[in-house]
Amino acid sequence: PVKRVTAPQILARKGATPIVALTAYTAPLAARVDPHADIILVGDSLGMVVHGLPSTIGVTMEMMILHGQAVVRGSSRAMVVIDMPFGSYEESPQQAFRNAARIMGETGCGAVKLEGGSRMAPTIRFLTERGIPVMGHVGLTPQQTHTFGGFKTQGRETDSWAGHIQDAADVAEAGAFSIVVEGVVEDLADRITEAVVAPTIGIGASVRCDGQILVLDDMLGLTGRVPRFVRRFADLGAQADQAIADYAAAVRDRGFPGDGNVYR
């Protein structure tokens, strides 16, 4: 079997060729992403995208492990990173280690991701020193949506920049092998990328980040309204609508099954 991309390999990509990351939640789509991506993220966005939850707050360890197992089975070369769900890591470094070890042990993933800046640095250090590679996530952190009061682009006021840069620097210094920078103004994303030793993976950030990530279903056009930072590289939702409508019409007018679809 081909060896998977490792955390040290990603770390070494700082300032080099851009890191390609995408989400996947299922084995068949992970298999499609695998040949093209360095990192496949099993994001807790799966709560909203595939389970119909209103936010990522209700996502459980069991959901992350089940989808994580599917994505690891469906892929062979990309590094699989699994999001730690809300409530599974914030309490203490010990709680985070217990749950991260369970995620790694039960799925075979290469790393976990957790949200938060300076306040999570001791936890990130605790995990990395004990064999669990950690991807950081700063800027707009969706698990804090209730305290933020919604999804808001970060860094619109320059007096907030020092805090955001410190967050990313502390996460990198604690040992994160890469950091997702989400939903920040472009100039702040550039300042963060320049300031930290770990590669930054942008989403709603800047083309000058060390890599980019999108939610697969968003870039394939499978989800509804998407924010400005998403580029739809395909319109599979519209194709699916048409295919389903064609099927329904064919069933109703007995055009399906046809001669080629029956056993004689």
List residues binding Na ion (CB under 5 A): 43-44, 83
Q: Which does 154 bind (CB under 5 to 8 A by kind): ligand KIV, Na ion, none?
A: none
In b/e form, how buried is each residue of 79-95, taking b as 16+ CB within 10 angstroms? bbbbbbbbebbbeebee
Smaller CB separation from ligand KIV, 130 or 208: 208
Exactly one of 179, 215, 220, 222 binds ligand KIV (CB under 6 A); that residue is: 215
Q: Which does 213 bind (CB under 5 to 8 A by kind): Na ion, ligand KIV, none?
A: ligand KIV
Exactly one of 37, 180, 181, 189 binds ligand KIV (CB under 6 A); that residue is: 180
Find the part of the chain contacting ligand KIV (CB under 6 A) among 38-46, 86-94, 103-111, 189-197: 38-46
CA distance 236 to 223: 9
At 135, is the secondary structure helix, strand, or coil? strand
Q: Is 38 annotated as a binding residue?
A: no
Smaller CB separation from ligand KIV, 207 or 245: 207
How far apart are the two ends of the chain, measured CA to CA in Å? 42
Closest CA to 227 of 208, 206, 203, 201: 203
Distances, alpha carbon 71 to alpha carbons 11, 68, 110, 163, 221, in Å: 22, 5, 12, 35, 20
Structure tokens at 237: 């939702």
Q: Which residues bind ligand KIV (CB under 6 A)?
A: 23, 41, 43-45, 83, 180, 182, 203, 213, 215
For the annotated binding site, the residues are: 44-45, 83, 113, 115
